[in-house]
Amino acid sequence: DQQVKQNSPSLSVQEGRISILNCDYTNSMFDYFLWYKKYPAEGPTFLISISSIKDKNEDGRFTVFLNKSAKHLSLHIVPSQPGDSAVYFCAASGLNFGNEKLTFGTGTRLTIIP
Amino acid sequence: DSGVTQTPKHLITATGQRVTLRCSPRSGDLSVYWYQQSLDQGLQFLIQYYNGEERAKGNILERFSAQQFPDLHSELNLSSLELGDSALYFCASSSKSGDGYTFGSGTRLTVV
């Protein structure tokens, strides 16, 4: 039962353009959503998060949008840079954020083309 | 350095053997989580400990067990290893702050 889904295993984007990574979830009890970036042979590193009471959160080049009615979130990276090439994971937590597990999607491999 | 330390980084062992993976959480974090990542798949939750007590269990095999010690470090024990247990094993620790969860760099287990 995949409660967090990332339907695009891979995405290629030209340097300088916008990268949009998508994530869907099925569990309406999820309350907090996070994006992680992962390089090979390293652990996931936190990028940006959003609470269910918001529909948008920005941090520099990264913006996360949340559409609760559609159970959908997206990560926008503008402008995309070669260093952004990595695997991106969407993750979700319930109300007890920080004290309960994260549920992860299967990841999207982003390749930025110079 | 994320603050979460995992050892060893790599482990190669034979089928049927037993191994122990170790994790030291970020200073001040009471929760430790173990995840398994196989073949470029997502991270599958195995088990959570909070301040020494088991808090939640995921799809953890009976051959696997874990514990968290009084100094808050945690160990994941994998026994009767099979080829399919080859994977990356990540430990994370958490607090209630904004980014909440911090991951270690993982242990790559190869069962031959």
pLDDT digits (tens, 9 = 90+) for B21-59: 999 999 889 999 999 998 767 899 999 999 999 999 998
Convert chain A into a string of H (helix), E (strand) and C (coil): CCCEECCCCEEEEECCCCEEEEEEECCCCCCEEEEEEECCCCCCEEEEEEECCCCEEEECCEEEEEECCCCEEEEEECCCCHHHCEEEEEEEECCCCCCCCCEECCCEEEEEEC
Q: Tally Cβ neighbours within 10 Å of residue A57.
A: 15
pLDDT digits (tens, 9 = 90+) for A30-82: 999 999 999 988 899 999 999 999 999 999 999 999 999 999 999 999 999 99
Has residue A1 got a pLDDT over 80?
Answer: no
Written as six digits, the tokens of A5 are: 């889904």
Compare all CA atoms of chain B with the CA of A6 and give the residue at the minimum distance.
B42
* Mutate which: A5, A21, A101, A102, vs B, most B CBs within 10 A: A101
Q: Enumerate the residues of chain B whose CB falls inside 8 A of the CB of residue A93.
A: 100
Distance CA(B78)–CA(B63), nearest Å, equals 6
Written as six digits, the tokens of A6 are: 């990332």
- Residue A110 — pLDDT band, cuts 50, 70, 90? very high
Looking at the DSSP bridge assignments, the partners of residue A87 are: A38, A109
Q: Does A87 touch chain B (CB under 8 A)?
A: yes
Nearest to B96 among A99, A105, A107 (CB): A99
**Are residues B101 and A99, on separate chains, in Cβ contact within 8 Å?**
no
CB pairs under 8 A between A and B: 75
Tokens 């990540």 belong to B90
How many angstroms separate the CA of residue A94 from the nearest CA in chain B? 12
Domains of chain A: 4-113 (2.60.40.10)
DSSP type of residue B16: T
Mean pLDDT of chain B: 93
pLDDT digits (tens, 9 = 90+) for B69-79: 999 999 999 99
